[in-house]
C-alpha cells in the first residue's frame, strides 16, 4: 500500500513534533533548569562575595580607627603623669621649693578624681586649653595637692617658674598669700597644685 504525499507530510510532521517534544522534555528543559540554577547560585555567590568585601572593608576601617586611637592615647599619655611619676614629683617638691629659697611647711595630697566629661571651654592659656581638652576623657584623673610655703614674696613667685616649664601640665588654684606672723619680710602661701594623671589601662 502506497502512502500519498499528504499522508507522508502528516507522518513527517508528527515525527518532527514528537522529536521536538522529546528534545525539549529530556534535553532542553533539564539543561535550562540547570542553567537557571547555576545563574541563581552565581548571583548568590556574588552577593555573598560583595557582603564579605563590605565586611572586610568595614573591619579594615575599624582597625585603622583603633590604631589611630591607640596612637592618640599613647601621645596623650606622654603629656600626662603616670601614677609613679606623680608620686616621684611630690617627693621632689621639698627640694624644688628649697632651690627657690622658700620652705615647704605642709603638703596634703587629696583624693584623685576623674575629670568631668561634660566638655570645657577652649579659652585661656595654651596649658589651660590642653587641660580642658583632657577633661573629655574618663581615663584621666586630677590629683590635687594642697601645700603651704613660707619665704620671701619673690621666692614664692620663683617657685611657679619650674612648674610652668614642665611638659606635664600642672595647674595652680586656691592661692592664698599672707604676711608671715613670725617674720614680716616673709609670706605664707597656701595653694592647690593639680597634677593630671592617666589611668593605667590596656590599649
| Average pLDDT along the chain | 78
Enter the pTM of the model.
0.54
Report the C-alpha gap between 51 and 151 in whole angstroms.
72
81-198 topology per CATH: Alpha-Beta Plaits (3.30.70)
From 145, 128, 130, select the one nearest 87 (Cα to Cα): 145
* DSSP secondary structure of 159-173: HHHHHHH-SS-EEEE
* pLDDT at residue number 65: 75
Identify which has the larger pLDDT, 200 or 43: 43
Cell numbers at 197, concatenated:
594623671
9-51 pLDDT, tens digit per residue, is 677 777 777 776 676 677 677 777 787 777 788 888 888 888 8
Cell numbers at 33, concatenated:
533548569
Q: What is the mean pLDDT of residues 4-10?
A: 70
pLDDT band (50, 70, 90) for residue 71? low
Least confident range of 65-69, 96-100, 112-116, 123-127: 123-127
* pLDDT at residue number 120: 43
| Residues above pLDDT 70, as percent of the chain | 73
Phi-psi region of 23 (alpha: psi -120 to 50; beta: other; left: phi over 0): alpha
Domain boundaries defined on the chain: 1-79, 81-198
Is the confidence at residue 137, as pLDDT, over 60? no
Q: In whole angstroms, how far apart are CA 120 and each of 16, 112, 115, 117, 130?
A: 90, 19, 11, 8, 10
157-172 pLDDT, tens digit per residue, is 898 888 887 888 888 8
Amino acid at each position: 500500500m502506497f502512502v500519498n504525499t499528504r499522508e507522508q507530510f502528516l507522518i513527517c510532521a508528527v515525527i518532527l513534533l514528537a522529536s521536538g517534544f522529546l528534545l525539549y522534555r529530556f534535553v532542553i528543559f533539564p539543561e535550562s533548569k540547570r542553567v537557571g540554577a547555576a545563574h541563581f547560585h552565581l548571583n548568590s555567590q556574588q552577593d555573598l562575595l560583595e557582603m564579605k568585601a563590605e565586611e572586610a572593608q568595614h573591619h579594615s576601617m575599624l582597625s585603622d580607627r583603633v590604631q589611630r586611637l591607640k596612637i592618640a592615647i599613647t601621645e596623650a599619655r606622654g603629656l600626662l603623669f603616670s601614677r609613679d611619676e606623680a608620686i616621684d614629683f611630690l617627693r621632689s617638691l621639698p627640694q624644688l621649693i628649697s632651690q627657690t629659697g622658700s620652705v615647704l611647711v605642709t603638703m596634703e595630697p587629696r583624693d584623685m578624681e576623674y575629670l568631668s566629661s561634660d566638655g570645657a571651654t577652649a579659652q585661656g592659656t595654651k596649658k589651660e586649653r590642653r587641660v580642658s581638652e583632657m577633661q573629655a576623657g574618663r581615663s584621666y584623673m586630677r590629683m590635687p595637692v594642697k601645700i603651704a610655703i613660707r619665704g620671701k614674696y619673690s621666692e614664692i613667685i620663683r617657685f611657679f617658674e619650674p612648674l610652668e616649664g614642665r611638659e606635664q601640665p600642672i595647674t595652680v588654684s586656691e592661692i592664698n598669700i599672707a604676711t608671715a606672723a613670725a617674720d614680716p619680710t616673709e609670706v605664707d602661701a597656701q595653694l592647690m597644685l593639680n597634677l593630671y594623671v592617666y589611668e593605667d589601662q590596656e590599649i
